[in-house]
């Protein structure tokens, strides 16, 4: 299983908001930057959030990231059908000396 724990699935209706959690430990999330990725079916992952809460150019403000202690959260507001995808968190783990990914969360738009 993954070092970072994400819920396997979340769902919400269009125009609503959703949060996806990523739980880790002091050796990873608490002391390192967290990034978030969106993976649409059949495509490469796309960076949504880096350095805990920064959005790359072109990523809408509907996507936000936060971190507190050993957990991080991705928030998505104004949900659209096109947001239906798998979402992954990632960070560096000091104990493993490795980049670690969460297991992924499938977002379903109801």
Partner 1 sequence: QLHLQESGPGLVKPSETLSLTCTVSGGSISSSTYYWGWVRQPPGKGLEWIGSIYYSGNTYYNPSLKSRVTISVDTSNNQFSLNLSSVTAAETAVFYCARHSGLGRGFDYWGQGTLVTVSS
Contacts with partner 1, residue ranges (CB under 8 A):
2, 32-33, 35, 37, 43-47, 49-51, 56, 88, 90-92, 96-104
Total Cβ atoms within 10 A of residue 96: 11
Shortest distance (Å) from residue 74 CB to partner 1: 13
By the 10 Å C-beta count (0-12 exposed, 13-18 middle, 19+ buried), 53 is classed as: middle
Q: Which residue has the tokens 């150019």?
A: 57
* Closest CB 12 distance from partner 1, rounded Å: 22
Q: Residue 80 or residue 98: which is nearer to partner 1 going by CB?
A: 98
Contact by Cβ (8 Å): 78, 15: yes
Q: Report the residue number, 104 or 107, with the smaller CB distance to partner 1.
A: 104
- Least Å from the CB of residue 50 to partner 1: 3
- Take residue 8 and report the two structure tokens written for it: 């396997």
Q: What is the DSSP secondary structure assignment for residue 78, as one 8-state letter? A: S
**CB 83 → partner 1: shortest distance, Å?**
19
Compare residues 17 and 51 and give the one whose CB is closer to partner 1: 51
Separation between Cα atoms, residue 110 and residue 89, nearest integer Å: 23
């Amino acid at each position: 299983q993954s070092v970072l724990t994400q819920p396997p699935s979340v769902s919400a209706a269009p125009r609503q908001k959703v949060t996806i959690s990523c739980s880790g430990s002091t050796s990873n999330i608490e002391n390192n930057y967290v990034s978030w990725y969106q993976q649409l079916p059949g495509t490469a992952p796309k960076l949504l959030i880096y350095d805990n809460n920064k959005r790359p150019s072109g990523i809408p403000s509907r996507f936000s990231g936060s971190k507190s202690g050993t957990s991080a959260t991705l928030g998505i507001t104004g949900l659209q059908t096109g947001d239906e995808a798998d979402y992954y968190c990632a960070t560096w783990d000091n104990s493993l000396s490795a980049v670690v990914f969460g297991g992924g969360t499938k977002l379903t738009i109801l």
